[in-house]
Amino acid sequence: MSLADQQYLDIVRSILEHGYYDQNRTGVAAYKLPHQIMQFDLEQEFPILTTKFVAFKTAVQEMLWIWQQQSNDVTWLNERNIHIWDSWVDENNTIGKAYGYQIRKYRQLDKLLETLKTDPQCRRMIVSLWNVEDLPEMQLQPCAFLTMWDVTDSRLNCMLVQRSGDIPLGVPFNMTQYAVLVHLIAQVAGLRVGLFTHVINNAHIYENQVEGMKLQLSKADQAYDAPKLWINPEIKDFYAFTIDDIKLINYRHCGRIKMEVSV
């Protein structure tokens, strides 16, 4: 079993066995636990679940939309047959001043890349999508909203802080796409990959997802080893990566598990 499956399923079990049950803004009650953490050494393993299928290309393209395209316009995703944001768009097919808009507004990625190359021991390498001034103009306030970056012994470490984590649907995407992001940034900064730590403040399972989670838990003894991540070694400019430059090698999984999303 991969470390991703092991750590993820441990959180699932804890929520189902000990989670606090209550209502929330969506109108669909959920079981939740605070302060759940996963950590991976990216030199040792790439974190993606094998106990269910995770749409790797979709997850990576969503990440590129936010971090590379730095866009709030869902049209770019729709053109690639990705519709995960369609429930939140406004009349202009945007998500307001959220996610990629905040990276572009303050040139946060460019500043991060410059600091990694010129002052790698800086302790202020932070990218925040939580702009209090713009929160009222966001269709959905960012869930995975903060990354903190560190370089130790030429290895790039990243901590992702997520205020709210839909464990069945959102978190499998987030853990995988941010691990890819670390690999991409490390490559263009001339660093090795290091630790990826994923902190979830409110980790929850909606009540209409419980049976799907129990099904996934039943597949634990069928889990596979982690696949390998391949990134085109010729690309040294973050803005030059395409989805064809990022691939999984030997990704085996236990199949799809359909679960509801609560808007």
CATH number of the domain that residue 244 is part of: 3.30.572.10
**Per-residue pLDDT tens over the stretch 180-224:** 999 999 999 999 999 999 999 999 999 999 999 999 999 999 999
The catalytic residue among 122, 143, 158, 254 is 143
Residue 233 C-alpha from the chain's centroid: 23
Kindly report the number of other CB atoms within 10 A of residue 188's CB atom.
17
| Nearest of 229, 260, 233, 224 to residue 3 by alpha carbon | 224
pLDDT above 90 (res 30): yes
pLDDT at 36: 98
pLDDT, average across residues 160-180: 98
pLDDT at 263: 84
Q: What is the value of pTM for the model shown? A: 0.97
Kindly report the number of other CB atoms within 10 A of residue 146's CB atom.
16
**58 within domain boundaries:** yes
pLDDT above 90 (res 168): yes
pLDDT at 144: 98
Q: Has 254 been annotated as catalytic?
A: no
How far is 186 from 193, CA to CA, in rounded Å? 6
Domain containing 119: what range?
A: 3-21+28-249
pLDDT at 243: 98
Percent of the chain residues topping a pLDDT of 90: 98
pLDDT above 90 (res 15): yes
Q: How many domains does the chain have?
A: 1
DSSP class of residue 21 equals: E
**113 within domain boundaries:** yes
**32 within domain boundaries:** yes
Phi/psi for 33 (5° steps) reads -135, 140
End-to-end CA distance of the chain: 32
CB burial string 73-90: b at 16+ within 10 A, e below? bbebbeeeebebbeeebe
**Per-residue pLDDT tens over the stretch 57-108:** 999 999 999 999 999 999 999 999 999 999 999 999 999 999 999 999 999 9
**254 within domain boundaries:** no
